[in-house]
Amino acid sequence: MKKALSILIAVILTLTLMCQTTVFAESAPPTEVDETPIEVDVAEAEDVPVDGSFTLTDDGEPVLEVKHQNELAVTGAFDGTMMNGFYTADFVMPDTGYNVFLTGLTKNNVEQIKQAIIDNYVEGKLFEMKNLGFIDVEKTWYGGDDGLMCGPAAASNMLVGSGWAAQAGFTNSDDVFEAMLDAFPNQGTAEETVISWFFSGITSGSYDSPGFGGYLPQYDFEEKDMMEYFGDFNNQIGTVYNRLRAGYTASISLKLCRFEDHEYFGAHAVTLWGFVTDPSYPADSKEHYKYIFVTDSDSNLAKKGKDRRTAPDVMSMIPIEYKNLYEKGWGYWYSDPPVCDVRIYGATTLKPYSPDIPYETSPDATLDRTKYPDILIGDLILTDEPKDEERFDELDDEETILDEYFWEWLYEPCFAWGSKRSTPKTEFSSDATIYFCPYLINKADEYYSNWDGEENIYTRLTVTDAQGEVVLQKSYNIPLAYGSGTIRDYSRTRNGVLYYSHKAQLPPGDYTATIEFNPNHTVPEALYMNNTKSVDFKVRGTAYRVGDVDNNDTVDNIDTTLILRSSAGIKTKLDDLAAYRGDVNGDGDMDVIDATLIQRYLVNIPVRYGIDTVRYYTGT
């Protein structure tokens, strides 16, 4: 049974369990698993258990390594039927050298996949995945009342694969999908809308479920990267791939193009479970990605009158190609015979459940975004270049800025729709004026308003130094009687409203700026956990360029002349920081040695003292 060396391919399968404990049941102590690898010949591998680590060998040579991580056992809160773990597979495809990454696997199909790899290795065949019971919601027969529900179907798969469905008490994606059928009309619905409904009960348009506040309202599901839509799949495919490898689940958004007239006729969503990549191309190359693994709610519909659970769960491995098909624009395309060509244009990712993800614990929180506002600090931008410096100079620190578009496009806060996400500035010179600019966002369906003005709602800015000492603290009352000019419902457009900007100058040091909204819970909100935002930043001394004695932003021979004149006692007109700029070697003196170092630098002789780089004056 030993194969010729030409077909001995090192196949590595890593099975990584993403543990899923639940906030509704106590977790038992971790199950003890013997992690000592078992070495078994490939001919005798059928009885190797999945739960342990093992190495398959062929005549003493390893051909398959399996590693298993300890799982957390779950109590019988769901009568032992809850899926308590999913696996990922990472291996090399025989005869191609392509790398395969696949996620969303359960114990049952991991066993089958293991056997399929063994069989294909022994028979020298190309590895393929078919009919192995994957996470795959199916619609019912064509023309059924769920025919346009591909978004909810993909979202159901994502919620199960990520572990969130288990936290809400669901045991499979079919049950999740059927709960959605009762809440949503049979029409196109984005996965983000469905996931929002699942967590909090909040959707958009006419989809709201009266009296339903979500299955997991204690989580701020839109915080950071919990749920994210990527609208430029062409350039964000690498990010989506890395998210899958990090344990996220994902769906992809598709445009359908008819074979006959090459016109778009519809849209679709499927669940994405993995990629096949070609390592001979770099990861940022469009040719790096060769195949995708998907489950499709339209692929194997249940027959008319039959339960959807009777339809087979199938994962497809589909070849994709980056091209400009029919002059429709460059993108990743694949064909779906005999129906149409398919273009991938977007993707949605969902972070996996983890007991480390924070959730609301305050007894004051209502956990109901349908009846109470949910204000969060969308971002805290620090800058020393305000959009309208003259306007800010006219303001005192107490005045509120009510122009919701004042900052939006210049600094591109993280919730600004359609704009590139900018990185806040975190380093300033001590002579700079720092503006602390928070963006407030309401993520609930209920307006945040107080027309009689009796409530004392405020935000609080606190700046602490490296020792935790408060060096600056200021509170700002929030006006609540301006209608649409105050904190509005931005859950649909994802724009932020800047309410004020405090300006300050600070001495050199390391600092943390913290913004708190409604810190005393004066007005009830759905969540309070998202009312705080902190940013670490540094204040450095006045910036200066090493070697630039005359401070004209250029290091040249004039600077060496000035150093030599000063060293010779010749009266030279220089500012107070000239001696720091001219002290190239940092020995405390500006002298002939520094002039020589600059001359060497100017003729391209290597100098190790950072000439022409920026340093900071610390005042010492």
Q: Does the residue 49 lie in any domain?
A: yes
Q: Does 200 share its domain with 327?
A: yes
The domain that contains 602 carries what CATH number?
1.10.1330.10
Please tell me the total count of domains within the chain.
4
Q: Does 81 share its domain with 183?
A: no
- In this prediction, residue 616 carries a pLDDT of 77
In three state form, how does the secondary structure of 230-274 look? Answer: ECCHHHHHHHHHHHHHCCCEEEEEEEEEECCCCCEEEEEEEEEEE
- In this prediction, residue 606 carries a pLDDT of 87
Which of residues 253 and 293 earns the better pLDDT score?
Answer: 253
- In this prediction, residue 414 carries a pLDDT of 40
Q: Does 318 share its domain with 465?
A: no
CB-based burial of residue 317 (10 Å sphere; 0-12 exposed, 13-18 middle, 19+ buried)? buried
- In this prediction, residue 102 carries a pLDDT of 82
- In this prediction, residue 63 carries a pLDDT of 53
Q: Does 587 share its domain with 502?
A: no
Q: Which of 282, 317, 350 is the last residue of a domain?
A: 350
CB-based burial of residue 520 (10 Å sphere; 0-12 exposed, 13-18 middle, 19+ buried)? exposed
Q: Which of 514, 540, 566 is the last residue of a domain?
A: 540
- In this prediction, residue 104 carries a pLDDT of 80
Q: Does 190 share its domain with 221?
A: yes
Q: Does 323 share its domain with 179?
A: yes
Q: Does 570 share its domain with 528?
A: no
Q: Does the residue 137 lie in any domain?
A: no
Q: Does 112 share its domain with 9?
A: yes
Q: Does the residue 269 lie in any domain?
A: yes
- In this prediction, residue 94 carries a pLDDT of 61
- Read off the pLDDT of residues 538-597 as tens digits, 9 standing for 90 and up: 998 877 889 999 999 899 999 999 999 988 888 888 888 898 899 999 888 999 999 999
- In this prediction, residue 484 carries a pLDDT of 29
Q: Which of 511, 540, 569 is the last residue of a domain?
A: 540
Q: Does 264 share its domain with 319?
A: yes
Q: Does 533 share its domain with 556?
A: no
- Read off the pLDDT of residues 344-403 as tens digits, 9 standing for 90 and up: 999 999 998 888 889 999 999 999 887 888 888 877 888 877 655 544 554 444 444 444
Distances from the Cα of 166 to the Cα of 51, 160, 183, 212, 538, angstroms: 21, 7, 19, 19, 43
Q: Does the residue 370 lie in any domain?
A: no
Collapsing DSSP to helix, strand or coil, 180 comes out as helix
Provide DSSP, 340-353.
Answer: EEEEEEEEEEEPPP
Which of residues 6 and 498 earns the better pLDDT score?
Answer: 498
**CA atoms of 273 and 353, how far apart (whole Å):** 17
Q: Does the residue 368 lie in any domain?
A: no
Q: Does 323 share its domain with 184?
A: yes
Angular region, 478: left φ>0, alpha ψ -120 to 50, beta rest? beta
Q: Does the residue 488 lie in any domain?
A: yes
Q: Does the residue 143 lie in any domain?
A: no
Statement: the pTM of the whole predicted model exceeds 0.85: no
The domain that contains 189 carries what CATH number?
3.90.70
Domain containing 277 equals 150-350
Q: Which of 106-110, 319-323, 338-342 has the lowest mean pLDDT?
A: 106-110
* Confidence check: pLDDT of 334 > 90: yes
Q: Does 233 share its domain with 304?
A: yes
- Read off the pLDDT of residues 7-65 as tens digits, 9 standing for 90 and up: 222 333 333 333 332 222 223 333 344 445 566 666 665 665 555 555 666 666 655 55
Q: Does the residue 461 lie in any domain?
A: yes
Q: Specify which residues 249 forms β-bridges with.
A: 350
User: Regarding beta strands 38-41 and 54-58, do their DSSP bridges make them parallel or antiparallel, or are they unpaired?
Assistant: parallel
- Read off the pLDDT of residues 206-245 as tens digits, 9 standing for 90 and up: 566 777 889 999 998 777 678 999 999 999 999 999 999 8
**CA atoms of 27 and 72, how far apart (whole Å):** 7
Rounded to the nearest integer, the mean pLDDT of the chain is: 75
Amino acid in position 538: K
- Would you say 397 and 466 are in contact if contact means Cβ atoms under 8 Å apart? no
